[in-house]
Amino acid sequence: MDSKKYIWICLAVLLVLPWAARAKVSGSCVNCHTMHNSQAGSPMAFTMASGVKTYTSVANKGLLTTDCVGCHQGGNSSGSVPYVFDAAGPTYGATGTEGNTLAGGNFYWVSTGNNRAGHNVVDLAGQDLEHGNKPPGGALLLSQLTCAGTYGCHGSQGQVDPTLSVLGSHHKNDMSAWNDGSSVAKSYRFIEGVKGLEDGDYEFQPTSAAHNKYYSIDRTGESDSAGTISSHCGRCHNDFHNGTGEISAGIFTNNVWIRHPTDYDMSNARSQGPTFSTSEYYYYNDYQGAGNPYSVISPVATADTSTTLNSVVYGQANDAIVMCLSCHRAHGSQFDGSLRWDYKNWPGTGFNGCAICHTAKD
């Protein structure tokens, strides 16, 4: 066998290797990159719009064949590339845990013009007609939201360009390790500075034994709490997370709440009443008296930074911490406010996910 033929056979084998979902990106470089944006006289770079691939002579930064939208557009299955936009419409179910959506939900519903169904990210949805570029609870942004960078959630916050903000991070990510937030590559889902443990299937049909492990701390005041997913949300929605007089009236841990608490451990409220068992929070996700298994419907965060999954709640200190993602999906859902469940139509056809924590109010 001559050397040229051997090289082409090796390349053909590499091309069919899957894009690794459980660790760093692996496989053939040409799965994501093009050296010259040319193959047999045709361009290799493409864009994706509504599921349609269009090749373009305009080369991408980083020698990439496509952008964030082009790579993460499709229908999810177990072990697939994480798709956050399904142009055909994803299957959500009652709580988003039964169909083919992932932890962040999907941009499909906001792309149809429902501004309340998710984040209005450029190239996926039009500008928010109600709020414009001013996030609720925050200050005016100088741009419509992007996937990454200064005006996005992922990548380096100091880099405006979405591609440059995540450059190199996919090659260094290790989903089996605890993400300590020390770099973009070592941050939870490339969200700079945020800590956590990533589920290998991105929470495709998760269970109490297979899900993301969100990091948080039980803060005692209204000041910011670094490294948590809620503090990241507070970059844009500042008033909903911190600020004097914005969260509670008086003492943070024992007074009237003005807004729903975030980065707050329910163990504090679990002890209210004559005994533990008289508190509604004592029965978190305990409808059948089976203890307190972790709920993938209304998840909570933990201060534990080990790679051991938190499959139960109240199993150790600071493992029942309420966060923004306890109620919302980061990308979007089919419900108002990007909520995880259809609270608006409950009781009736909706679902009261609030009762996972507020067990006495269902």
One-character DSSP codes across 207-265: BTTBS-EEB----SSSS--TTSHHHHHTTTSGGGT-STTTSEESSTTSSEESS--SSEE
Q: Is the model's pLDDT at 251 over the cut of 80? A: no
Query: With bands split at pLDDT 50, 70 and 90, how would you rate the model's confidence at 163?
Result: very high
Cβ atoms 199, 207 nearer than 8 A: no
**Mean pLDDT, the chain, whole residue set:** 90
Looking at per-residue confidence, does 272 or 157 come out higher?
157
Of 12-26, 44-58, 177-191, 239-253, which gets the smallest average pLDDT?
12-26
pLDDT tens digits, one per residue of 82-104: 999 999 999 999 999 999 999 99
Looking at per-residue confidence, does 239 or 6 come out higher?
239
Domain ranges of the chain: 76-362
Query: According to the model, what pLDDT value does residue 287 have?
Result: 67
Query: According to the model, what pLDDT value does residue 97 have?
Result: 96
Cβ contacts of 217-221, under 8 Å, gap ≥ 24 = 217/263, 217/303, 217/318, 217/321, 218/263, 218/264, 218/265, 218/267, 218/268, 218/303, 218/318, 218/321, 219/252, 219/263, 219/264, 220/252, 220/253, 221/252
CA distances for 209 relative to 94, 203, 285, 296, 354, angstroms? 20, 11, 14, 10, 21
**What residues pair up with 339 in beta bridges, in sequence order?**
328
Q: What is the mean pLDDT of residues 46-56?
A: 90
Q: What is the mean pLDDT of residues 126-135?
A: 93
